[in-house]
Amino acid sequence: MSRTRRILPTLFFLQTGVVAIFSAPAEGPGVHIGAVNCQTSGCHGGAGDLSRQHTIWFRADRHSRAHATLTTARSARMAEALGMENAATDVRCTSCHAPFALVPASQKLATARPEEGVSCESCHGASGGWVRSHTRPDYTRAQRVAAGMRDLEDLYLRSNTCVACHQALAPELIAAGHPRLHFDQAGLSDREPRHWKEIWSDSQLWAVGQFAALRELSGHLAQKAAGGAKPTPEELADWESTLALCRLIAQAAPWGGPSAGLEGQSSPSLDLARAADALAKQGAKAAWKKEWPGAIRGALETAARPAAGPSPALKAKIQTALHSLE
């Protein structure tokens, strides 16, 4: 496996069709049109609560500046340390900071430019098959999804959309100065300027995201081990603390059973990644019981007490989780 390939974001077990910006949707033309075609006042660039999604993204969402980040002095220093000619064009950076750079020319209009950063279609999917129809009152959610729109109402798909770039960062990038990443789907969503109207359970979104993170970490480290590489101490601490969080969730909100296939796991493995993936799917579809949020919070607070002896990594993650679940 090449050095570059190991640095690119990957969704283990989900490498076809989950992050649709890297491949054409199963149905519809699969053409990316770019955010500029969403910004008119009659579409998503208006002033009303239901029509200003592009305005919010452009003015306040850090995703709109993802590509610009690659042009800073800090990115230049990182690029030099990694032997890159230019962070703004190197696939190790653009794969997450400028996803349109990876889309073949046959699957995008000239208006879909890498300089957009992480824009509408990075999350909602290539819109060529549904952009002219998705506002029709008779156009159902199922029809939109069939035409290529990613179903972000599904918390499992939503977590998969984000986790590919917000988890399992290559040690080389961290050594060069990239901030460490720890996936917290609820916390990330809460910090974003809201451009959606739907309401969901923070505890459910957070829990599903943790199992998606465990899947990614387990798959990533199992793949490294298969290639003869050992995890760094930081990677191992991240994996161990995420596994501990998922065990707490499984006990407090046992939609997959109280052990949920997580017991007896002492090292990252593909079997554990598969179990975590199954639990993420089940959790997204579970009827979220009213007592589960309190049970999860109680389990986290108990595990954070000094008597429980949490590791520094686990304690930090619990503190972050409790803040996200407020």
Task: Tell me the pLDDT tens digit for each residue of 118-142.
Answer: 999 999 999 998 888 888 889 898 9
127 lies in the same domain as 224: no
93 lies in the same domain as 232: no
**Cα–Cα distance, 109 to 272 (Å, whole number):** 41
169 lies in the same domain as 43: no
111 lies in the same domain as 140: yes
**Cα–Cα distance, 80 to 312 (Å, whole number):** 32
Report yes or no: 14 and 113 within 8 Å, Cβ to Cβ.
no
203 lies in the same domain as 273: yes
Which pLDDT value is given to residue 318?
Answer: 94
Which pLDDT value is given to residue 3?
Answer: 40
250 lies in the same domain as 158: yes
Tell which of 133, 151, 169 closes a domain. 151
Closest C-alpha to 112, from 154, 187, 277, 104? 104
pLDDT < 70 regions, the chain:
1-29, 50, 199-200, 258-260
Which pLDDT value is given to residue 266?
Answer: 82
180 lies in the same domain as 62: no
171 lies in the same domain as 319: yes
Q: Is 190 helix (H, G, I), strand (E, B) or coil?
A: helix
Phi, then psi, of 172 in degrees rounded to 5: -60, -40
Closest C-alpha to 219, from 15, 20, 13? 13
120 lies in the same domain as 179: no
Report yes or no: 38 and 58 within 8 Å, Cβ to Cβ.
no
251 lies in the same domain as 318: yes
Tell which of 151, 183, 213 closes a domain. 151
Residue in the structure block whose two tokens are 């800073």:
72
131 lies in the same domain as 229: no
144 lies in the same domain as 166: no
Give the range of the structural domain holding residue 65, as residue numbers without chain letter.
Answer: 1-151
Report yes or no: 268 and 231 within 8 Å, Cβ to Cβ.
yes
Count the domains in the chain. 2
Tell which of 125, 151, 177 closes a domain. 151
pLDDT (tens digit, 9 = 90+) per residue, 129-176? 888 888 888 989 899 899 889 999 999 999 999 998 988 788 899 999
Q: What is the DSSP letter of 265?
A: -
The model's pTM is 0.86
